[in-house]
Amino acid sequence: MARNKILSLEELAVQIAKLKKQGKTVAQCHGCFDLLHPGHIKHFEAAKEKADIVVVTLTPDRFVNKGPGRPVFPEQLRMESIAAIEAVDYVALNKWPTATETIKMLKPTYYVKGQDYKDKEKDLTKGIYAEEAAVKSVGGSLMFTEEIMFSSSKLLNAHFSQHSSKTKEFVDHFKKKWDSDFIINEVEKMNKQKVLIIGDTIIDEYHYCTPLGKSSKSATISSIFTRAEVFAGGVLAVANHVEQFAGEVKMITCLGRKDMQEEIIKKNLSKGVDAKFFVRDDGPTNTKRRYLDKFMNTKLFEVTFMNDHYIEEKLEKEIITYLKKEAAHYDIVLVTDFGHGLITPGIIKCIESLGKYVSINAQTNSNNFGYNYITKYNKASYISIDEKELRLPFGDNYGSLEELVKHLKRITKAGKIQITLGGEGSLWYEKNKFYRTPAMATSVKDSVGAGDAVLSVTTLCAYQNTPPDVASFIGNCVGALAVEIIGNAHPVYKKDLIRFMQYFLK
């Protein structure tokens, strides 16, 4: 039976060792194989012509990052499907994101890739180099097959897409106007930019609980604590996102003397971020503790630890002096204003006087609701906020978005403005023209921090004058990846963004 071909990696390693002792040659194929097609079958058959035994290792569901809704078919079904192919002798599920460790564990005679990997420079992840080094380290060699070419992503887009007809129509039109090489180049050339980021540090704590129900003696929902996770939020998350794409990143922020959280920040902040920490004596480092239902992953309630009054005048002057000195070395000043006391009127005035390209987000949240409006800025180059953050300053809940954006431009003088609209996508304004782009996400695990991720990458797009519809598309793809990440556990990686966009553009 086909199921008898499915082994654990440990079992497969033992079996391969036995076969090699018998003089057998072993070829290892590796991939996602989400939608089996004739190209895959030909690939396995070509490997069988070269070796006595063909083993196939699969990428687990949790590591598949080929686009929204992927994998379409779960790992068990994918393994069973491949095991049913005559040319395949054994199948195993990988334990790691890449095949490198698996190759070292299995020690195949040949590691077999398709012809689309023959030009190694075209492998955006550059994983093919690590895989080649791994197979050579165990005495094997890298081999390429020349099977008929198909694209699983293109087939899945055509027949299994989870997107709305509106999104499909947009993507079809977009692909005719822009090719993937141009868009990827727009992302790649961001590495020439130097970015200075200033904003509030936030430590995000996620405390997972199992709700038990209402207490018998009061109207209180009782819960059992399960576990906790801690993430770097606020300006820390933005810096981590920007570092994935820009060439140089400097971050200026303020911690609280009473509970600085230095170890957490050190652990979670990217090594590529040059950080300057100031310290206020009158409070803790801003911390938001969220209690969540373990099974539904929904927030039950939140407790915050912070002093959100403006920092003292002496500290403000120190930051302004440092900001003026450092800004000269950077192309962009990116302001992440969460309304927690760091971005004072004096610091805003300083930023607006620097003569730099200034990108701003002034966030509305439960701590600053009604007090932290984007309209307090009088000079900006690029603004990225959500719909509520646009409507609140004008007290207009139902008016035309386009008219409100124009009103915002008159106040802030921003050359480019993006309004994120959640499930409705985004609205981009530039040179008196509006561009609407639908949402690219098909599911949402956690929306916390998605706007920060979009701000981070679209700032770089705006600075280098990426065409507005391309910048908006890139931003929405970033947002779709961000809502799959729980609590800023990691940034949106450049390689994942490129793969995600390629999925759409096939």
Count CA within 13 A, CB hemisphere, residue 412. 28
Is the backbone peptide bond immediately before 71 cis, with ω within 30 degrees of 0? yes
- Identify which has the larger pLDDT, 93 or 297: 93
Structural domain of residue 196, as residue ranges? 184-505
Question: What pLDDT, on the 0 to 100 scale, is given for residue 128?
Answer: 83
Cα distance between residue 94 and residue 8, in whole Å: 9
Give a yes or no: residue 86 inside a domain: yes
- Do 95 and 218 have their domain in common? no
CATH number of the domain within which 200 lies: 3.40.1190.20
- pTM of the predicted structure, to 2 decimals: 0.76
Sign of the CA dihedral 176, 180, 181, 187? positive
Question: What pLDDT, on the 0 to 100 scale, is given for residue 155?
Answer: 44
**Nearest alpha-carbon partner for 322 in 233, 236, 251:** 251
Residue 114 near residue 146 (C-beta atoms within 8 A): no
Count CA within 13 A, CB hemisphere, residue 340. 32
Question: What pLDDT, on the 0 to 100 scale, is given for residue 217?
Answer: 74
Question: What pLDDT, on the 0 to 100 scale, is given for residue 356?
Answer: 97
Give the SS3 label for residue 180.
helix
Give a yes or no: residue 172 inside a domain: no
- Do 141 and 15 have their domain in common? yes
Give a yes or no: residue 175 inside a domain: no
- Do 90 and 221 have their domain in common? no
pLDDT tier for residue 447 given thresholds of 50, 70 and 90: confident
- Do 150 and 203 have their domain in common? no
Flag the least confident range among 257-271, 296-310, 413-427, 449-463.
296-310
Is residue 221 over pLDDT 90? no
Structure tokens at 452: 């920060």
Q: How many CB atoms lie within 10 A of CB 487?
A: 21
Question: What pLDDT, on the 0 to 100 scale, is given for residue 163?
Answer: 60
Question: What pLDDT, on the 0 to 100 scale, is given for residue 159?
Answer: 43
- Do 152 and 190 have their domain in common? no
Question: What pLDDT, on the 0 to 100 scale, is given for residue 455?
Answer: 97
What residues form DSSP beta bridges with 208? 227, 292
- Identify which has the larger pLDDT, 217 or 262: 262
Residue 186 near residue 465 (C-beta atoms within 8 A): no
Do the bridges between strand 201-214 and strand 221-234 make them parallel or antiparallel, or are there none, so unpaired? antiparallel
Count CA within 13 A, CB hemisphere, residue 485. 25
Give the SS3 label for residue 199.
strand
- Do 127 and 215 have their domain in common? no
Is residue 463 over pLDDT 80? yes
pLDDT tier for residue 124 given thresholds of 50, 70 and 90: low
- Do 155 and 188 have their domain in common? no
Structure tokens at 133: 């080094």
Question: What pLDDT, on the 0 to 100 scale, is given for residue 160?
Answer: 45
Residue 7 near residue 19 (C-beta atoms within 8 A): no
- Do 422 and 376 have their domain in common? yes
Flag the least confident range among 72-86, 193-207, 468-482.
72-86
Give a yes or no: residue 335 inside a domain: yes
Give a yes or no: residue 225 inside a domain: yes
Average pLDDT over residues 299-308: 91
Chosen domain end from 159, 194, 212 = 159
Number of H helices, E strands in the chain: 17, 18
Structure tokens at 481: 């990846």
- Do 115 and 254 have their domain in common? no
Question: What pLDDT, on the 0 to 100 scale, is given for residue 121?
Answer: 61
Q: What average pLDDT does the chain have?
A: 90
Question: What pLDDT, on the 0 to 100 scale, is given for residue 63?
Answer: 81
Question: What pLDDT, on the 0 to 100 scale, is given for residue 119?
Answer: 65
Sign of the CA dihedral 368, 206, 386, 199? positive
Residue 409 region, left (φ>0) first, then alpha (ψ -120 to 50), else beta? alpha
Encode pLDDT of 365-384 as tens digits.
888 888 999 999 999 999 99
Chosen domain end from 89, 124, 159 = 159
- Do 83 and 205 have their domain in common? no
Give a yes or no: residue 13 inside a domain: yes
- Identify which has the larger pLDDT, 457 or 34: 457
- Do 97 and 205 have their domain in common? no
Chosen domain end from 159, 194, 210 = 159
Gyration radius (Cα) of the chain, Å: 26
Give a yes or no: residue 174 inside a domain: no
Average pLDDT over residues 414-443: 93
Q: How many CB atoms lie within 10 A of CB 237?
A: 29
Count CA within 13 A, CB hemisphere, residue 378. 8
Give a yes or no: residue 169 inside a domain: no
Cα distance between residue 50 and residue 123, in whole Å: 24
- Do 142 and 251 have their domain in common? no
Number of folded domains in the chain?
A: 2
Q: How many CB atoms lie within 10 A of CB 35?
A: 21
CATH number of the domain within which 153 lies: 3.40.50.620
